[in-house]
Structure 1
């Protein structure tokens, strides 16, 4: 299942809590801030991530 795209940290944080999430592709340059908290949340629940710029 594909969820997104997300253009803000708020949206990404919301989708990070989606129970059907299997992996995440994250853009380092979201409009409203740093993706560190989203990355940490995903890693804490063992969701694989790919980060690009």
Structure 2
């Protein structure tokens, strides 16, 4: 799961940067949509990391 999330995050980062360059704007609707997807995956990844950290601390 972790490696899937890392790959998805990197893929979305690339896609967001690519669209921003092609469209010439960070605020273009298509760039913002990808940015929002990226935010969701980063949030899920961070939740997973926190959960693992807490498990490690209680062991």
Give the TM bin, normalised by the shorter chain.
0.3 to 0.5
Bigger Rg, structure 1 or 2 = 2
Q: TM-score, structure 2 length as denominator?
A: 0.31
- Higher percent of residues as helix: 2
- Higher percent of residues as strand: 1
Q: TM-score, structure 1 length as denominator?
A: 0.33
